[in-house]
Amino acid sequence: MTRTMEQDAHIDDALESSGSSDARLVDAARRGDQAAYGELVRRYEHRLARVIFRFVRDHDLAEDLSQETFLKVYDRLDQFDTSRRFGPWLFRIGVNLTLDFLRRKKRRLRWSLFTDRFKERVPDPGVDDPRRAMDLQQEVHTVLQMIPEKYRTVLVLRDLENFSTAEIAAILHRKEATIRWRLAEARHRFQYYWGKRHGTAMPAGFTPSEDPERDHAL
Amino acid sequence: MHCKKVRQQMSLAVGDDLEPAAAEVIQQHVATCPECEKAWEQHRRGFAVLQQSRVALERTKSDSIWPKVAVKIQARQTDARRAEFNGWIAGLAVLAACVLVFVFSQDGTLPSTTRRAPHETLPANMLKLPIARPNQPSQSLWRGQRAPESLLRQSVDQAQPGKDDY
């Protein structure tokens, strides 16, 4: 049976509130109690993998990055302030790791495009345009890729992963007002590109604070 | 409220990210402004698309990544201990080498790398100079200092062949 995201979120919340507090588990893990750290991993692994998957769209890669995140968190446990919540700190490390990975991947892709620039790529007429086979999720992902990273990250965390703006502010280490402004911009841009790709009329007087056509240049 | 401001806040209102009072103002404006109503519908459709694309990843408890993470943590700790041990070995080896060098240099058994005076490396009869003794003026000859005139004359006399040599 496929669980919905809301159900998963409730499960995560229930796990979070049950048993020892995160801070207590972190303290135990710092003293070398690996079982305590295992408990923390089990509490957050599904949510973290899901968040990372929203960015990378690859289950295996999301799992690898989740593992890497938990290893990094383990190495940095001494730096964690136990008076604060563990979840946002963990997600901050996970999201930053994922965004760094995507930036490196983008740079490599640019380089390979540059080095292959003389190789002509002829589309195979026997193969359908892959865009036709895209389902809704892929199409949404394609549109999300058109939005600059700072807006896209907020949109994914808020509208696809249902984090509150306060939680996103904690994860991204920004003021909540900044997050709300970015969220508004992100939704405007998503609306703009979605409408453009699907031929729906744009709302009259659409005035994002920056020209969305410049997004690709960013 | 002005249409421009309404549309700026519309994208937040559509996801319930505005204060209830501000959201109420937007709803009232949209109800009376046909252009803003169109924009509102567009935003609602865009937001609905995002909501529809939410699909949770199917995972079961057996999929936990903890066993793999635990193995990697163990491996890292083992590597760290090994690196620390290797560091100690290298440090001790360097220390032992330093001690040996110090001990041998004190005994004088190691060849000195400092420049030596000619009288220390060549026989005195080849130099035809008086053998250098501590606290004697000739000791300073090899250092490029000028020797006293009497000593130089004595050295020349000794170096000249006598009648018996022929």
User: Per the structure block, which two tokens stand in for A30?
Assistant: 């710092």
Q: What is the mean pLDDT of residues A190-195?
A: 90
Higher pLDDT, B148 or A24: A24
Residue to substitute from B1, B4, B11, interface A, most A β-carbons within 10 A: B11
Task: Confirm or reject contact between A59 and chain B (CB < 8 A).
Answer: yes
Task: Answer yes or no: are the C-beta atoms of B9 and A184 closer than 8 Å.
Answer: yes
Neighbour-count burial of A85, counting CB atoms closer than 10 A to its CB (0-12 exposed, 13-18 middle, 19+ buried): middle
User: CA nearest B8: which of A166, A191, A145, A201?
Assistant: A191
- What is the structure's pLDDT at B130? 57
User: CA nearest A50: which of A103, A102, A12?
Assistant: A12
Q: Taking CA atoms, what residue in A is nearest to B69? A: A67
Task: Confirm or reject contact between B70 and chain A (CB < 8 A).
Answer: yes
Amino acid code (one letter) for B112: S
pLDDT, tens digit, 9 for 90 and up, residues A153-192: 999 999 999 999 999 999 999 999 999 999 999 999 999 8
User: Residue A163, Cα to own-chain centre: how many angstroms?
Assistant: 11
Q: Is residue A121 scored above 50 in pLDDT?
A: no
- In this prediction, residue A144 has a pLDDT band, given cuts at 50, 70 and 90, of very high
pTM, rounded to two decimals:
0.66
Q: Which range, A195-199, B67-71, B133-137, is most confident?
A: B67-71
Q: Is residue B124 scored above 80 in pLDDT?
A: no
Task: Confirm or reject contact between B17 and chain A (CB < 8 A).
Answer: yes
- What is the structure's pLDDT at A47? 92
At B143, give phi and psi (nearest 5°).
Answer: -85, 5
Higher pLDDT, A108 or B165: A108
Q: Is residue B66 scored above 60 in pLDDT?
A: yes
Q: Is residue A76 scored above 90 in pLDDT?
A: yes
- In this prediction, residue A139 has a pLDDT band, given cuts at 50, 70 and 90, of confident
Q: Is residue A138 scored above 70 in pLDDT?
A: yes
- What is the structure's pLDDT at B150? 66
Residues of B in Cβ contact (< 8 Å) with A165:
17
- What is the structure's pLDDT at A108? 79
In order, the DSSP letters of B43-109 are HHHHHHHHHHT--PPP--GGG-SHHHHHHHHHHHHHHHHHHHHHHHHHHHHHHHHHHHHHHHHHHT-
Task: Confirm or reject contact between B68 and chain A (CB < 8 A).
Answer: yes
- What is the structure's pLDDT at A130? 45
Q: Taking CA atoms, what residue in B is nearest to A43? A: B64
Q: What angle do CA A129, A191, A99 make, to 5 degrees?
A: 75
Residues of A in Cβ contact (< 8 Å) with B42:
191, 195, 200-203
Q: Taking CA atoms, what residue in A is nearest to B80? A: A75
- Select from B35, B51, B52 the Cβ nearest to the Cβ of A205: B35
CA B77/CA B79 separation, integer angstroms: 5
- Select from A71, A180, A203 the Cβ nearest to the Cβ of B42: A203
Task: Answer yes or no: are the C-beta atoms of A87 and A48 closer than 8 Å.
Answer: no
Residue A1's Cβ-side half-sphere holds a number of Cα atoms within 13 Å equal to 5
C-alpha distance across the termini of chain B, in Å: 131
Task: Confirm or reject contact between B2 and chain A (CB < 8 A).
Answer: no
Higher pLDDT, A93 or A5: A93
- Helix or strand (DSSP H, E) at A133: helix A130-133
Neighbour-count burial of B108, counting CB atoms closer than 10 A to its CB (0-12 exposed, 13-18 middle, 19+ buried): exposed
- In this prediction, residue A218 has a pLDDT band, given cuts at 50, 70 and 90, of very low
Q: Is residue B10 scored above 70 in pLDDT?
A: yes
- What is the structure's pLDDT at A206? 53
Record: contact B42-A155, CB cut-off 8 A: no
User: Per the structure block, which two tokens stand in for A97?
Assistant: 């790791």
Task: Answer yes or no: are the C-beta atoms of B52 and B61 closer than 8 Å.
Answer: no
- What is the structure's pLDDT at A5? 47
- What is the structure's pLDDT at A182? 95
Mean pLDDT of chain A: 80
Q: Distance, in angstroms, between B50 CA and closest chain A CA?
A: 7
Q: Taking CA atoms, what residue in B is nearest to A200? A: B42
Higher pLDDT, A63 or B155: A63
Residues of A in Cβ contact (< 8 Å) with B57:
46, 49-50, 53, 59, 62
**Surface of A (153-182) touching B: CB under 8 A:** 155, 158-160, 162, 165, 180
- In this prediction, residue B63 has a pLDDT band, given cuts at 50, 70 and 90, of confident
Higher pLDDT, A48 or B122: A48
Mean pLDDT of chain B: 75
The maximal CA–CA distance of chain A, rounded, in angstroms, is 62
Lowest mean pLDDT among A66-70, A141-145, B140-144: B140-144
Record: contact A191-B55, CB cut-off 8 A: no
- What is the structure's pLDDT at A135? 74
Record: contact A190-B50, CB cut-off 8 A: yes
Q: Is residue A55 scored above 80 in pLDDT?
A: yes
- Select from A42, A158, A165 the Cβ nearest to the Cβ of B64: A42
Q: What is the mean pLDDT of residues B52-70?
A: 73
Amino acid code (one letter) for A126: G
